[in-house]
Structure 1
Amino acid sequence: MSTRSRAGSWVFLTAVAVAVASALGLGLMQRWDGMLRFAAVTVVLLLTRRAKVPTGFVAAFAVLVLLAMWGSVQHWYAEIPHFDTVVHVLTPGSLAAVSYFLLVDAGLLPDARRPGGSVRGWAPVLWVTLVGSAAAVLWEYYEWVVEQISPQGMLVGYTDTVVDLFAGMCGSLVAGLFVLRWARRHTGS
């Protein structure tokens, strides 16, 4: 195992431990919504690791999901300027990159490391960009539903939505480029 791979594994395992500790700690404080969120994050992280997702991608995903979740639980989105935009740039692309590798592992998408017949050069970039953009759209639907149910719980508007969607699309495009770069460096492995 390479040094880079070991470092990614260490980051991932640390993130899982933090997610478990967060769920337990929030449960002890009787903050049930936060506890359930971190329990769900733990399950998602463990499922991504079972598949053959490269350690760097799964480690980045784990850290970014934890950051997004703590931001939600601790209200950082409202308290820290531009935190929302940063999360919307990083998280959908990370999710889409991991999704790409999960679908390759499941045999539902062709592996970009094996170019030829069914994989066109930039197809992974397009796929990751589209999935990340779709994830950003679904998140904005979630925000709208929450705003309708509890108007004081989440104060968003048209500009916030458009900026979040654009940020998610741009971050997903960059993540797709990272997937393509990784695949080209690992072609044939």
Structure 2
Amino acid sequence: MPLLPADALRGAGILSVVAATIIGGWVGFALFFLVLGALFIPRALGTSLWLDATYCATLLVAGWAAQLDWYLAVPGLDLVVHGAATGLIGAVTWQVLVRVGALPHHDDVRLQRPRLGTFVVTSGAAVSLAVVWEFLEWIGHTWIDDRIQVGYDDTLGDLAAGAVGAVVAAMLVSRTSAAEPRP
């Protein structure tokens, strides 16, 4: 399998697991181990190069922003990253669901409104995963490490930004998915 540009980002993800473990202990390890696993999903799916690279770069920035408290240092960064990451995760999730056969590809069946279905699934999956992430942040803060930043305003802001990112991604995916090759 030939190397792709985003493979350099996956390499950075491997190095990030080591560095985050040294800096943040087992919490840093756990965070970047999750990020690392996520970085390999678009590679396994064979997603487009731009989605692969953008997704990987965004997840790495998100992880390091949390690890190094950039969210506290840069006002608004949290919302930008949540919007971008949630949207990109939604786009990749849609591709996963199509590739594993959980959703029909547009030329598999005669769908009445394939773009609408793609929009609903992409945005719904992305927002649902954002809710799960916020729930895990709360668990982490409550039972693992109180340095994990949570709070009512933070959580609602993160979810709102994620919902905006999910809708934008769902619009893009629903417009481009019919043109993609079959899995």
Question: Do the structures match in fold with TM over 0.5?
Answer: yes
Match of 1:3 in 2: none
| Percent identity of paired positions between Structure 1 and Structure 2 | 26
Asked if residue 104 in structure 1 is aligned to residue 98 in structure 2, the reply is yes
Kindly state the Cα deviation for residue 27 of structure 1 after the two structures are TM-superposed.
Answer: 4.2
Asked if residue 174 in structure 1 is aligned to residue 161 in structure 2, the reply is no
Match of 1:145 in 2: 139
Q: How many residues are treated as equivalent by the alignment? A: 181
Cα distance in 2, alignment partners of residues 102 and 88 from structure 1: 21
When normalised by structure 1's length, the TM-score is 0.81
Cα distance in 2, alignment partners of residues 116 and 163 from structure 1: 39
Give the 5 Å matches for 1:8-157: 9-10=4-5, 12-27=6-21, 31-112=25-106, 114=107, 117-118=110-111, 120-149=114-143, 152-157=146-151
- What letter matches 2:137 in structure 1? E
Cα distance in 2, alignment partners of residues 106 and 124 from structure 1: 15
When normalised by structure 2's length, the TM-score is 0.84
Cα distance in 1, alignment partners of residues 98 and 182 from structure 2: 15
What are the superposed Cα offsets for residues 17-37 of structure 1, whole Å, 9 maximum, x if unpaired?
A: 111122233445673432343
Cα distance in 2, alignment partners of residues 150 and 188 from structure 1: 43
Stretches of structure 1 that go unaligned for 5 or more consecutive residues are 1-5
Cα distance in 2, alignment partners of residues 141 and 187 from structure 1: 36
Cα distance in 2, alignment partners of residues 153 and 73 from structure 1: 10
